[in-house]
Chains A and B, each alone.
Chain A
């Protein structure tokens, strides 16, 4: 599957996956979908289950990438994460968190930033 056909987001996802794998993440799912919505990436980082949102931009015109995970989107991700954990019977003792990978495509190459535990729901 080539990155071009899937557009900017798809290319960003490919970049994010190799970036995270280099840092020891074990990718479980890409583009996990259920009726509640979608999560870009689910991975194990050590023993921690990480739900990863990938944000790709070519400029900062509409703000920095991680800012685009607004409150409503956060709540939605939380719902999807819970559905995933329920469907897979994930053990209750597992720690889960939300990470954001912010990618900026620049003329000199991609700039990748990983924000672990980017947001919590209160």
Chain B
């Protein structure tokens, strides 16, 4: 349209944070949220929806984003809490934790999706925000990389599930491993595909 124009009527806000989450759908592992403030002048080439990047690209961009961000934070909510509340509440809690780690606190939030965060900061939810908004894309990369790294660690502890490969998502391989070995400490026992295999 006008490629060099910034489409923003949010100029009255001095620091805008993008917020996104990774790991809402998997059968195992935590849900991870990230919040990031990037200097308005500081765009980073290649930053786009984390799902459209390769793992190597994401790692590289993670380094660049975390080194250039004004501030960034990550919130992690584990399987027990996901079971106690529900995945939406757990996700919102992770997002809130991520935002509260920011220093300075942002005066406006752009959040991926449709659910506002219960926090006293003006905010707007953006559907497909991970594709549309630069700061949300950056947050999506931080969340995804952080979660993938955690799942690699869990792979070392519970190698029979091969978390390194599917990161806890409900792939055929993962479903078969659950059928064979039952569930482990990091499985979400309230999720379909897991709860059927809880013994006792």
* B9 partner residues in chain A, CB cutoff 8 A: 83, 86-87
Tell me if B152 is interfacial: C-beta within 8 Å of chain A. Answer: no
* A83 partner residues in chain B, CB cutoff 8 A: 9
The answer to whether A89 and B4 touch (CB under 8 A), given A29-B127, A44-B131, A94-B132, is no
Determine the residue in chain B with the shortest Cβ distance to A97.
B1
Tell me if B124 is interfacial: C-beta within 8 Å of chain A. Answer: yes
Within the complex, the shortest CB–CB distance from B5 to chain A, in Å, comes to 6
Within the complex, the shortest CB–CB distance from A97 to chain B, in Å, comes to 8
Contact A89 B3 (CB under 8 A): no
How long is the Cα–Cα vector from A26 to B110 in the complex, in angstroms?
20
Tell me if B10 is interfacial: C-beta within 8 Å of chain A. Answer: yes
* A91 partner residues in chain B, CB cutoff 8 A: 132-134, 137
Tell me if B6 is interfacial: C-beta within 8 Å of chain A. Answer: yes
Interface size, A (range)? 20 to 34
Tell me if B95 is interfacial: C-beta within 8 Å of chain A. Answer: no
CB-CB contacts below 8 Å: B117-161 with A? 124, 126-129, 131-135, 137
How long is the Cα–Cα vector from A100 to B132 in the complex, in angstroms?
21
How long is the Cα–Cα vector from A83 to B6 in the complex, in angstroms?
12
Within the complex, the shortest CB–CB distance from A96 to chain B, in Å, comes to 4
**Given A28-B132, A92-B3, 16 extra CB contacts under 8 A:** A28-B127, A49-B132, A87-B9, A88-B110, A88-B124, A88-B132, A89-B110, A89-B124, A89-B132, A90-B7, A91-B132, A91-B137, A93-B3, A93-B43, A94-B132, A95-B1
Within the complex, the shortest CB–CB distance from A76 to chain B, in Å, comes to 15
Total residues of chain B contacting the partner, CB 8 A: 24
CB-CB contacts below 8 Å: A27-61 with B? 28-29, 44, 47, 49
Determine the residue in chain A with the shortest Cβ distance to B9.
A86
Tell me if A15 is interfacial: C-beta within 8 Å of chain B. Answer: no
Tell me if A85 is interfacial: C-beta within 8 Å of chain B. Answer: yes
How long is the Cα–Cα vector from A30 to B158 in the complex, in angstroms?
45
Contact A85 B7 (CB under 8 A): yes
Chain A interface main SS type? mixed
Chain A to chain B: the 8 pairs with minimum beta-carbon distance, closest first: A85-B7, A91-B134, A86-B9, A96-B1, A86-B7, A88-B126, A90-B132, A92-B6
Tell me if B16 is interfacial: C-beta within 8 Å of chain A. Answer: yes
Determine the residue in chain B with the shortest Cβ distance to A43.
B128
* B48 partner residues in chain A, CB cutoff 8 A: 47
The answer to whether A92 and B127 touch (CB under 8 A), given A49-B132, A81-B1, is no
Tell me if B199 is interfacial: C-beta within 8 Å of chain A. Answer: no
Contact with A along B1-34 (1 / 0, CB 8 A): 1011111111000001000000000000000000
* B127 partner residues in chain A, CB cutoff 8 A: 28-29
Within the complex, the shortest CB–CB distance from B53 to chain A, in Å, comes to 13
Within the complex, the shortest CB–CB distance from A60 to chain B, in Å, comes to 31
* A82 partner residues in chain B, CB cutoff 8 A: 1, 7
How long is the Cα–Cα vector from A47 to B126 in the complex, in angstroms?
16
